[in-house]
Amino acid sequence: MFTLESLLQLALSNLTSPMILFFAFGVLASWAKSDLEVPDGMSKAMAIFLLVAIGLKGGAEIAAVGLGKVWTAAFAAILLGTTIPVIAFAILTRVVRLDTVDAAAIAAHYGSVSAVTFITGMSFLNQVGIPFEGYMVALLALMESPAIVIAIVCAGLTQYRTASGVGKASFFSNKLLREAFLGKSILLLTGGLVIGFITGPQGVTQVAPFFDGMFKGVLTLFMLDMGLLAGRRLADLKLAGFLLAGFGLFMPIINAGLGLMMGMAIGLSLGGTTLLTILAASASYIAAPAAVRMALPTANPSLYLGTSLGITFPFNIIVGIPLYYFLASLVYT
């Protein structure tokens, strides 16, 4: 039976992994105003490596189990991706009292997902020996885009009702839709999924020594870069106030509850439900910012990046992942 002691042991195990320690090291280096930095080109190369690696593996898994077993989970993921931004937008406008543009920008980030949080969650489950459905990476790709569009629609409808704000074209431009559905991270994940599906497990085995053998090492260095970036973004939250900071801590827990219920409802395993919970709880800081910059140019980046990257990302990486697994374990016991 799982207890508070079990949760603390899981949290300690997570905190002492190399990936998390390098993330914390990056945060501390940023706070100390060190000149330590990861070159931009190297950071982009590591992101490409990680996204392609999980895409290939997920596509191969879909080929192995068949598309018929993925549809229910895919529908659940899209439903989460469209529901969460509406809830976030309502909380941000009615409780936190942000204006509709900033609220929509932040809601887009919380409805969308973080690939790095997902990858860290997979590493955590592998570390504790919990199997999960390999096709979960397909849900990661599916949840990236819908939330961005839904959040921007919320802002548009609200502003039209008040007869103010930006015009219709800025909400529904070709550039926005292209960024929301064909942004770099989404395209890399989708491309990896398709290629992994076409080649199947046997084909992916050919590149496994590269992608599997180097995966944890690359992830460790990438987490150092994320720690440096998150440490810098924490300073931006001086503008946010306590209510928005509280939102950054409690919204992922609310979303995790939705993901947990959805995973149970569609019959995922303990590991699969944990990953869906992690996806629901995560907040984007790659795909969403690019789309928001185009669709909502007046939104304050310090608010949406400071909250998603400065608060929610560290919370999920350090505390959230073992917490969500613990909660799923209680339900599945």
273 in Cβ contact with 325 (< 8 Å): no
Measured distance between the N- and C-terminal CA atoms of the chain, rounded to whole angstroms: 7
For every residue of 230-245, DSSP letters joined together read HHHHHGGGGGT-HHHH
Residue type, 301: P
Which ranges of the chain would DSSP assign to H, the alpha helix? 4-15, 18-31, 40-65, 71-94, 100-111, 115-128, 136-144, 146-161, 168-171, 174-182, 184-205, 208-211, 215-234, 242-265, 270-281, 287-295, 301-307, 313-315, 321-332
Burial call 103-124: b when 16+ CB within 10 Å, e when fewer: bbbbbbbbbbbbbbbbbbbbbb
Band of residue 184 on the pLDDT scale cut at 50, 70, 90: confident
Percent of the chain with pLDDT over 90: 45
Alpha-carbon 286 to chain mean position: 9
pLDDT one-digit tens code per residue, 207-244: 999 998 898 899 999 999 988 988 887 766 666 678 99
Q: Report the distance separating Cα 296 and Cα 151, nearest Å.
A: 11
Q: Report the distance separating Cα 196 and Cα 64, nearest Å.
A: 10
pLDDT one-digit tens code per residue, 312-333: 999 999 999 999 999 999 998 7
Query: Does the pLDDT value for residue 166 go beyond 50?
Result: no
Q: Report the distance separating Cα 177 and Cα 4, nearest Å.
A: 45
Under 8 Å CB-to-CB from 247, ≥6 apart: which residues? 91, 92, 95, 96, 106, 307
Domain 4-332 of CATH type 1.10.8.420: no
DSSP state of 320: I
Any idea where the domains of the chain sit in the sequence? 4-332
CA distances for 53 relative to 38, 112, 192, 283, angstroms: 21, 20, 7, 21
> Mean of the pLDDT values across residues 242-258?
94
In the block, tokens 């942000």 appear at 98
Pair of tokens at residue 308: 């998603």
116 in Cβ contact with 222 (< 8 Å): yes
Average pLDDT of every residue of the chain: 86
Q: Report the distance separating Cα 120 and Cα 324, nearest Å.
A: 13
240 in Cβ contact with 311 (< 8 Å): no
Question: Between these two residues, 285 and 103, which has the higher pLDDT value?
Answer: 103
Pair of tokens at residue 257: 């509850």
